[in-house]
Chains A and B, each alone.
Chain A
Amino acid sequence: MSLVTNLDLRKTAMKWLIASLITLSVSAIGMVELFGERFVITGLFTMAQVMFLGPTAVFAYRAVQETPQAQKWLGLLKALLIGLGVGLVMMALVWLSQNIDIRSVFINISPKLINILTFNGSGSLTLLLAMVGAGLAGGVLALVPTKLRTALLVGGGTTILTGLLSEILAERLRSLFGAQVSNAIFASKALQLVPAIVLFVLITAFVYFRSTGHIKPANIRLPAGRERLVLTALISGFLLVLPMLLGSYLTEVTNNIGLFFLMGLGLNIVVGLAGLLDLGYVAFFAIGAYTMAALTSTGPLGLADMSFWVALPICVAVAAVAGFILGMPVLRMRGDYLAIVTLGFGEIIRILALSDLMKPYIGGAQGILNIPKPMVGELSLIRPEQMYYVILIGVAVAMFMSVRVRESQIGRRWMAMREDEDVAEAMGINLVSTKLLAFTIGAGFSGLAGAIFASKLGSIFPHSFNLLISINVLSLIIVGGLGSIPGTLVGAIILVGLPELLREFAEFRWLAYGVLLVTMMLSRPEGFIPSETIRRELHSGDEAEQAG
Chain B
Amino acid sequence: MAMLEVNDIHTFYGNIEALKGVSLHVDEGEIVTLIGGNGAGKTTTLRTISGLLKPRQGSVKLYGEDLANVRAHHLVYKGISMVPEGRGVFAKLTVEENIEMGAYIDKDKARIERNKEAAFGRFPRLKERRKQVAGTLSGGEQQMLAIARALMAQPKLLLLDEPSMGLAPILVDGIFDTIKEINKEGTTVLLVEQNASMALAIAHRGYVLQTGEIVLSDKADKLAKNETVQKAYLGID
Contact = CB atoms under 8 A, between A and B. Distances in A.
Interface of A: 409, 412-413, 415-416, 419-420, 422-431, 533-534, 536-537, 540, 543-544, 547
Contacts of B89: 423
B101 interface: yes
B81 interface: yes
Contact of A429 (B82, B104, B135, B136): B104
Interface string B50-76: 101000000000000000000111111
A416 B72 contact: no
Contact of B73 (A409, A415, A419, A431): A431
B91 A419 contact: yes
Contact of B93 (A426, A428, A533, A543): A533
Given A426-B73, A428-B104, 13 more contacts: A409-B104, A415-B93, A416-B101, A419-B91, A419-B92, A425-B52, A429-B104, A431-B73, A533-B93, A536-B92, A536-B135, A540-B92, A543-B133
B102 interface: yes
A412 B133 contact: no
Contacts of B195: none
Q: Considering the complex of A and B, which 6 residue pairs feature the smallest CB-CB distances, nearest first?
A: A428-B76, A423-B88, A428-B105, A419-B90, A426-B82, A533-B92
A422 B88 CA distance: 9
B71 A426 contact: no
B153 interface: yes
Contacts of A409: 104
B92 A426 contact: no
A548 to B, nearest CB: 9
A63 to B, nearest CB: 33
B73 A423 contact: no
17 contacts: A409-B104, A412-B101, A419-B90, A419-B93, A420-B88, A422-B52, A422-B88, A423-B89, A426-B81, A426-B150, A427-B153, A430-B71, A534-B92, A536-B135, A537-B92, A540-B92, A547-B136
Most buried by A among B84, B91, B136: B136
Given A419-B90, A431-B73, A426 B136 contact: no
Given A416-B90, A420-B90, A427 B102 contact: yes
B92 A428 contact: no
B72 A423 contact: no
Given A419-B91, A423-B84, A428 B74 contact: yes
Contact of A430 (B73, B81, B135): B73
Nearest to A416: B101
- Contact size class for B? 20 to 34
B158 to A, nearest CB: 11
A533 B91 CA distance: 10
Contacts of A413: 104
Contacts of A533: 92-93
Contacts of B153: 427-428
Contacts of B90: 415-416, 419-420, 423
A45 to B, nearest CB: 46
A180 to B, nearest CB: 56
Contacts of A425: 52, 72-73
Contacts of A416: 90, 101, 104
A544 B133 CA distance: 9
B104 A547 contact: no
Contact of A544 (B50, B52, B93, B136): B136
A422 B159 CA distance: 14
Contacts of B75: 426, 428
Contacts of B230: none
Interface string B131-171: 01101100000000000011001000000000000000000
Contacts of A424: 73
A426 B72 contact: yes
Contacts of B93: 415, 419, 533
A412 B104 contact: yes
B91 A543 contact: no
Contacts of A422: 52, 84, 88
Interface string B83-104: 0100011111100000001101
A533 B92 CA distance: 6
Contacts of B73: 424-431
Contacts of A544: 136
A537 B153 CA distance: 27
Contacts of B52: 422, 425
B132 A426 contact: no
Most buried by A among B50, B81, B90: B90
A274 B129 CA distance: 26
Contact of B101 (A427, A430, A543): A427
Contact of A426 (B84, B91, B133): B84
Nearest to B150: A426
Interface string B18-43: 00000000000000000000000000
B136 A540 contact: yes
Contacts of A415: 90, 93
Contacts of B50: 426
A417 to B, nearest CB: 10
Nearest to A434: B73
Contacts of B72: 425-426
A423 to B, nearest CB: 4
Contacts of B135: 536, 540
A536 B133 CA distance: 8
B212 to A, nearest CB: 22
B217 to A, nearest CB: 26
B101 A426 contact: no
Most buried by B among A416, A419, A423, A430: A423
Given A419-B90, A423-B84, A543 B136 contact: yes
Nearest to B136: A544
Most buried by B among A413, A536, A537: A536
Nearest to A429: B73
Contact of A427 (B71, B76, B132, B133): B76
A275 to B, nearest CB: 11
Nearest to B100: A412
A43 B86 CA distance: 66
A427 B92 CA distance: 17
B150 to A, nearest CB: 8
B79 to A, nearest CB: 11
A547 B132 contact: yes
A429 to B, nearest CB: 6
